[in-house]
Structure 1
Amino acid sequence: MLSKPLGVVKYALFAVFDPARIVSGSVTEFDRTRWRQFKRAIQLSLFYLVNLVLYAVPLTLAGFGQVGDPGESPAIVESVAAGIGIGPELLWSYVMAFVQNCSYLFLFSILTFVMFHLAVWVTRSSNGYLQSINTVVYSTGIYLAAIFSVTWYITMAESIVVAEEWLIWLQAEFVYTIIDAVGSDLELATGRPEPVSLADATRAGVSTLALLFVSIAYYLYSLYLGAQINHDANRTTALLTVVLVVVSPALFVLGSVLVALYGGALSLTTV
């Protein structure tokens, strides 16, 4: 699909107007010998890694994910830096920022796969791991990457500060809802923020938030389609699969709260 420039354009159009074509795999791709299925899994993984790099490189070059003190650069980085004519500290800071930009998307992709496949397995609609890999590779490599990109932009753009503050408040409220539900008096490091109104947000800020929520809707819808098409799930089962994926962040926060209650420290952060 991506072998020619026109294929890239079609792929982008399908991602917006026909997500079903993006996440679906043909029967012949799944109904193969184990060796050919393994090769297909490798192909999907490579596709995901390419998308991961394409997602992380522009963010890194734009200054997203930069760490305060990346530490001393290894000898191999100094050698590479000397070869391309830039300072080793600068190159090392870019490497660390690139790793950070990749890590969040990669970890959430793994979480999505685990929860998605667990959901189709629990509902007895699973047709195999490859079908889940096919679904998650495309849903996270495209739509989840879009979510992270927009979120990064909101946190960095100075012209949409109100939108950033509202997003931080929304995340904090989500965490505190779970904290209050378990009857705990735990506090985030940033404390309990005051409510933020979008009345003072710029049009650009509101538009960016709208783009974020549209990306989230596409992400969840792609998982719904993947369950229906690749696992032959009915509408109810596909919807339940999406619900289980959606509640996974709540389970993560709940686990963090319980760990903090029994001797740990609440280390959740907002972006």
Structure 2
Amino acid sequence: MATGRVGRTVVGLFDAVFRPSRFVMASNAASRTSLRRGLSRLQSLLVVFLTNVVLYATPLTLSGYGVAVETQAPSWFVPIAQRTLGNPDTAWWLFAGIAQNSVFLIALSAVTLLTYHAALVVTRSSKGFLLTVHTVVYSVSAYLAGIFTVLVFLSQAAAYETARALVIDLQVRFISVFYDLFGIPESRRVFSVGETVPMVQLSSGETAVLALLVALVLYFVYSMYLGARLNHGAGVTSAVLSLLAVGLSPAIYVAILLVYSTGGITL
């Protein structure tokens, strides 16, 4: 059983790199299934997604990245942890840290799912929500998680300071577009655009890491395109429009965060 899982994992990694069309393509049965089987398939996809999210977030948590849990384990959690997990405070720190490190990936995945499927529905190309979930789960699990992993690596590696500064500069400039769009005054802006980072200062190692980052972005975009074409049978125009919708996902996510954080809306 374990050997079979390892084999499937190896094949999946191979397909993700060398055969993305096979990696992202759903089986023919997925589009012709009963409600019961559809729900079962949806449950399986959610398990795949959450498993990959945990595999992504756990190493970050164990390294101490992004963990801001200082409180002790809550009283309801203590007896459960003592029976099965050992030290309640350590277990709570681990679970809470994994949750914190997973939030951004899960939130962006949800926005991507909604915008992607909405575009397919609007262009009358959708063959079912389940096929959209399949595409997003596999694309996010492999490529988007890979993108975040590279970004985290850059944020932690002291030897890649120029590459880190370049990526941060691009992110700040992206966010600044929405600062200007919403008319947020300078005094309330968390980030401000600095001087342009000269790319000539990049070392060969930094260039390689940035090339990997670009490759992962292209893989992610291509896999979403393939999902529209292969799983939904969409035409080129509809597939491209679905990609444009996916491209809006980060913009929508940042806009919501800015409006909420600056008091534009009250929840």
Please, what TM-score do these two structures have when normalized by structure 1? 0.86
- The verdict on how the C-alpha distance between 1:250 and 1:17 changes in structure 2, with shifts beyond 3 A counting, is same
2:20 and 2:223 in contact (8 A); partners too: yes
Which residue is 1:177 aligned to? 177
Matched, 1:117 2:117: yes
**Take 1:164 and 1:89, find their aligned partners in 2: how far apart are those partners?**
34
**Take 1:250 and 1:141, find their aligned partners in 2: how far apart are those partners?**
21
Which residue is 1:6 aligned to? 7
For structure 1, the 5+ residue unaligned runs are 266-271
**Take 1:174 and 1:166, find their aligned partners in 2: how far apart are those partners?**
12
1:60 and 1:94 in contact (8 A); partners too: yes
Q: Match of 1:172, as an amino acid?
A: V
Which residue is 2:93 aligned to? 93
Q: Match of 2:148, as an amino acid?
A: F
Q: How does 1:149-164 map to 2 (within 5 A)?
A: 149-164=149-164
Alpha-carbon shift at residue 27 of structure 1 (Å): 1.6
1:77 and 1:91 in contact (8 A); partners too: no
Q: How does 1:1-271 map to 2 (within 5 A)?
A: 3-67=4-68, 69-75=69-75, 78=78, 80=81, 89-180=89-180, 185-186=185-186, 188-254=189-255, 264=264
SS of the equivalent of 2:193 reads: coil
- The verdict on how the C-alpha distance between 1:136 and 1:179 changes in structure 2, with shifts beyond 3 A counting, is same
**Take 1:159 and 1:81, find their aligned partners in 2: how far apart are those partners?**
42
1:70 and 1:92 in contact (8 A); partners too: no
Q: Match of 1:171, as an amino acid?
A: Q
Alpha-carbon shift at residue 168 of structure 1 (Å): 0.9
- The verdict on how the C-alpha distance between 1:204 and 1:91 changes in structure 2, with shifts beyond 3 A counting, is farther
- The verdict on how the C-alpha distance between 1:198 and 1:63 changes in structure 2, with shifts beyond 3 A counting, is farther
For structure 2, the 5+ residue unaligned runs are none
RMSD: 2.5
- The verdict on how the C-alpha distance between 1:59 and 1:256 changes in structure 2, with shifts beyond 3 A counting, is closer
**Take 1:253 and 1:184, find their aligned partners in 2: how far apart are those partners?**
14
Which residue is 1:268 aligned to? none
2:53 and 2:141 in contact (8 A); partners too: yes
Identical-pair percentage: 33
Q: How many residues align?
A: 261
- The verdict on how the C-alpha distance between 1:6 and 1:195 changes in structure 2, with shifts beyond 3 A counting, is same
**Take 2:205 and 2:77, find their aligned partners in 1: how far apart are those partners?**
39
Alpha-carbon shift at residue 83 of structure 1 (Å): 6.9
Q: Match of 2:20, as an amino acid?
A: P
SS of the equivalent of 1:101 reads: helix
**Take 1:124 and 1:107, find their aligned partners in 2: how far apart are those partners?**
26
Q: Tell me whether 130-139 or 173-182 shows the greater mean CA deviation.
A: 173-182
- The verdict on how the C-alpha distance between 1:48 and 1:163 changes in structure 2, with shifts beyond 3 A counting, is same
SS of the equivalent of 1:3 reads: helix
- The verdict on how the C-alpha distance between 1:70 and 1:96 changes in structure 2, with shifts beyond 3 A counting, is farther
Alpha-carbon shift at residue 89 of structure 1 (Å): 4.6
**Take 1:255 and 1:75, find their aligned partners in 2: how far apart are those partners?**
34
Alpha-carbon shift at residue 125 of structure 1 (Å): 0.4
